[in-house]
Amino acid sequence: MLPRRAQRKRHGELGALSRLGSHRDRPAVLLDVPRALGKKWLPDGFAITSEVLDFTTDEGVQIYGGMGFSAEGPMDRAYRDARINRIFEGTNEINRILTLDMLLKRAMKGHIDLMTPAMAVQKELMAIPDFGASDDEGVFVKEKKVLTNLKKAGLMIAGAAVQKFMMKLSDEQEILMNLADMLIELYVAESTLLRVEKLIALRGEAACDIQKEIALVYLQEAVERAASAGRQAITSFADGDELRLMLLGLKRFTKIDPYNLKEARRKIADHVIQKGEYAF
């Protein structure tokens, strides 16, 4: 895929510059997701990795253009292999539902204390936000704060949903799917940050500049997707003052400093194109 992207010309430009949209670097970013997850597999881990395969295969077809479906190119076989995920599509959705369903049922049976931290988040919503600077040092200090807030957003919504539906929450599959999507984004973003942090400790920050960009790009995208999923969940069961308060809480807990994603994506893509192979 990479040699083809580097060699192909489109309107006089190298193929490396032919897809400057938001997906230009995303295959490189997403391909590192399974490695970031490591051995700590969840059902949602199977869902996200199979969807990464679908996405990267489709991007490969786009890169090869008219040759994308030709048996002379590598994407023909990859596309046929990836089609099995369409058959397994239901499994991904079932995995999403099962993850949250099992988690919430264990919480309601007292095996996991979900409500105590959820109530603490609700109490925090009524308090004045803490705008003080963190005393923590090291890489990803602000990013870890973002992850902590994403966890609070999930707890806020899950706690409110449990209080409203109790054991009938398993019938609210759309809400479970929204919460699962939030969990997936949090899990992958945190796993990626921790992996890059470990690499930096081993190799030094300068040697891990591209990996750091990957983590930051994914975190930005993860926050956006988690906020969207959270908004869908909240509006599906809350109304009135509760709706307004929860939406304000979601906005507060999904706040992240702006980051130049265009330049970061170009940097990642240029690195991969220069290497001519999967470089991570």
Mean pLDDT of 37-53: 64
How does residue 73 score in pLDDT terms, banded at 50, 70 and 90?
confident
As a whole-number percent, the residues of the chain with pLDDT over 90 amount to 45
Q: Are strands 13-14 and 9-10 parallel, antiparallel or unpaired?
A: antiparallel
Confidence of residue 84 (pLDDT cuts 50, 70, 90): confident
Other CB atoms within 10 Å distance of the CB of residue 43:
17
CATH topology of domain 113-264: Butyryl-CoA Dehydrogenase, subunit A; domain 3 (1.20.140)
Helix (H, G, I), strand (E, B) or coil at 24: coil
Q: Where in the chain is the domain with CATH 1.20.140.10?
A: 113-264
Identify the three-state secondary structure at position 10.
strand
* Whether 89 is catalytic: yes
Q: Cα–Cα distances in Å, from 232 out to 177, 178, 193, 194, 269?
A: 10, 7, 26, 29, 32
**Which of 11, 19, 213, 21 shows the shortest CA–CA distance to 2?**
19
State the DSSP H helix or E strand holding residue 108, giving kind and residue range, or none if neither. helix 89-108
The whole-model pTM stands at: 0.80
| Active-site position among 13, 51, 59, 89 | 89
Q: Indicate the residue type of 123.
A: K
Q: Out of 16-20, 44-48, 169-173, 177-181, which region has the weakest mean confidence (pLDDT)?
A: 16-20
Instruction: Please check the confidence at residue 15 and state whether its pLDDT lies above 50.
Output: no
Chain-centroid distance, C-alpha 96: 14
Cα-based torsion angle of the residue sequence 64, 65, 69, 70 in order, rounded to the nearest 10 degrees: -70
- Which pair of structure tokens corresponds to residue 237? 């069961």
Task: Tell me whether residue 117 is exposed, middle or buried, using C-beta atoms within 10 angstroms of its C-beta: 0 to 12, 13 to 18, 19 or more.
Answer: middle
CB burial of 118-146 (b: ≥16 within 10 Å; e: otherwise) equals beebbebbeeeeeeeeeeeeebbeebbeb
